[in-house]
A and B are shown apart, each in its own frame.
Chain A
């Protein structure tokens, strides 16, 4: 693993008033006390299909009450990792824990997991409320608990008014909410979400993203493993992000620090579409900064991974961290030639050629956008650009 898991404060796990009110002790659900510290642990988890390894020695911890997003391109093993927690694929090696219980050899129905799949899989022959009640019925909950929990879960996702509808009478976004309510009704220890927004159109996706964030504020002790290929979803929701590639976890860290200081080329490109310039490290200049050489120019950048002098590495500059400058020279200055300019509503996107390398810059709309072929001077703050080792991550 490229970055160590940063230490962070353990959450205090005080249930909200709403949870305390509806905490009914039944055999059907763990009591409130049981729900305290429930994380997910992967230890060296390997999954192979017919000899082909699709999940390679995954070691990862999702702490109690945290949202961890697994992102990566299609086929990188994200769903497989999630299904291993749910129990639908059996690891060929390694252990999976939920809380302090080793669930590696436990049947899926005994794992107490809430799962929302990509196409929701609402039972078409049951009304919304029957879908939500399914897990409780299967566990033999009493009628009183059933009524209370179903109402509470539907309220949590704002679907009380649609309780009597069949799934085919609901829109995609509404089906999604019912699927989440169904998963939450059993008071799971962990919630697994597999690309929950990918079947929705852009506008509804935006608002569902806000809803999910709100939901987690209301259920702060719920541990969530969120699989997506969309970096915006991951950055918006997750406390920590893991980046998968070819079945391997190639980066893991707190969302902000992973975005600011990607540990390798792949994560820099996948999370936030970074500009990467090949540079050579020259010398440290204090305050975590290092001087690097890019062609003839000498630039300053942060060096969080402690790359040694003389190392070939990449300078990672986010498109919105590049600024247009008047005049020539000065610190951290680059000269480029405009290749193309795009107007994107609230921003302008300019592609420049900087000594044979393409750089993308986004900025507030320009009154008079530059013509292609115009030379432009660029600059950046050394504290927002990062040196990244020249490795792809494996």
Chain B
């Protein structure tokens, strides 16, 4: 504890709670409230109702939630596999080439997502590779945007792994694949799960690139929210936002429970 006096501690906690409430609590609270409101002309809304949630479940929104979750899982799984593979393959590289490749991997996440969407649109709307208007292009966009984070996360985990574990395993007669399966992957499991969680959360919220490339019939929740609010249906959009936030949260909480189980061992 940095603050020793009791009064000081109370003051510090109050200040922190206040900042937290304004920065995080207020926007979320307003949206939550909006998702239940029938009318909002005063400071507080009136005519509280569940009709927006009913709309959400009746309309396309249920399907949009499903699309988002499927896209998130598929893109995150692909990014996890490729990012881990790259991290494993490149970890013993000399410093300079490794630095160069690290930078290269992080380029997609440094470029605005709208630019990535536009780039994919331009690149794949001509033969020989014609992906324009397919679901694959959405997956590719998400993969491109999140794979840098999985690579970075797994690389960090591998860098923290003392080389002795693998060397002892090897001296005991374990071949490369056995070492990977029984020693390396279990030891970096918390990093793999963290990488997957981060990717999934990013993918669930992705709008910039998706809105440029999504085909009819493959609308993600953020795109749905965007078009609802564009049409002025703010309350319906709010209900959808709550659904997006809660479904993302449920998946992340589930993953973090697996992760803490993995790291306790």
Contacts and interface: CB of A to CB of B under 8 A. Distances in A.
B173 A139 contact: yes
Contacts of A115: 167-168, 171
B173 A112 contact: yes
Given A123-B183, A125-B265, A109 B168 contact: no
Interface residues on A, range: 20 to 34
Contact of A114 (B171, B178, B187): B171
Q: Which of B168, B174, B183 has the most CB of A within 10 A?
A: B168
Q: Which of B170, B178, B183 has the most CB of A within 10 A?
A: B170
B164 A121 contact: yes
A331 to B, nearest CB: 56
B208 interface: no
Interface in A47-92: 86-88
A138 B169 contact: yes
B172 A135 contact: yes
Interface in B135-175: 162, 164-165, 167-175
B186 interface: yes
A121 B165 contact: yes
Interface string B58-88: 0000000000000000000000000000000
A169 to B, nearest CB: 12
B182 interface: yes
Contacts of A114: 171-172
Given A121-B168, A123-B165, A123-B183, A186 B173 contact: yes
Nearest to B262: A125
B16 to A, nearest CB: 33
B170 A108 contact: yes
Contacts of B162: 119, 121
Contacts of B175: 109, 138
Interface in B193-243: none
Contact residues of B: prevailing secondary structure: helix
B173 A124 contact: no
Q: Which of A111, A114, A134 has the most CB of B within 10 A?
A: A134
A112 B172 CA distance: 7
A213 interface: no
Contacts of B164: 117, 119, 121
A135 B173 contact: yes
A88 B265 contact: no
A182 interface: yes
Contact of B170 (A109, A137, A182): A109
A113 B171 contact: yes
A294 interface: no
Interface string A87-116: 110000000000000000001111111110
A121 B171 CA distance: 12
Interface residues of B, number: 18
B265 A109 contact: no
Q: Which of B165, B167, B175, B187 has the most CB of A within 10 A?
A: B167
B172 A186 contact: yes
A124 B174 contact: no
A299 to B, nearest CB: 51
A166 interface: yes
Interface in A176-204: 182-183, 186, 192
A109 B173 contact: yes
Given A121-B165, A123-B165, A182 B171 contact: no
Given A115-B168, A121-B164, A123-B165, A138 B186 contact: no
A186 B169 CA distance: 12
A170 B232 CA distance: 64
B190 to A, nearest CB: 11
A223 B264 CA distance: 38
Contacts of B168: 115, 117, 121, 182
Interface string A121-139: 1011100000000110111
Contacts of A107: 170
Interface string B246-258: 0000000000000
B171 A109 contact: yes
Contacts of A86: 167, 171
Contacts of A186: 172-173
Given A115-B167, A121-B167, A138-B175, 18 more contacts: A109-B170, A109-B171, A109-B173, A114-B171, A119-B162, A119-B164, A121-B162, A123-B187, A124-B187, A124-B265, A134-B169, A135-B173, A137-B182, A138-B178, A182-B172, A183-B172, A186-B173, A192-B171
12 contacts: A87-B171, A108-B171, A110-B173, A117-B164, A125-B265, A134-B172, A137-B182, A138-B172, A139-B173, A183-B171, A183-B172, A186-B172
Q: 8 closest A-B pairs (Cβ-Cβ)?
A: A135-B172, A121-B164, A138-B174, A115-B171, A108-B170, A125-B265, A138-B173, A121-B168
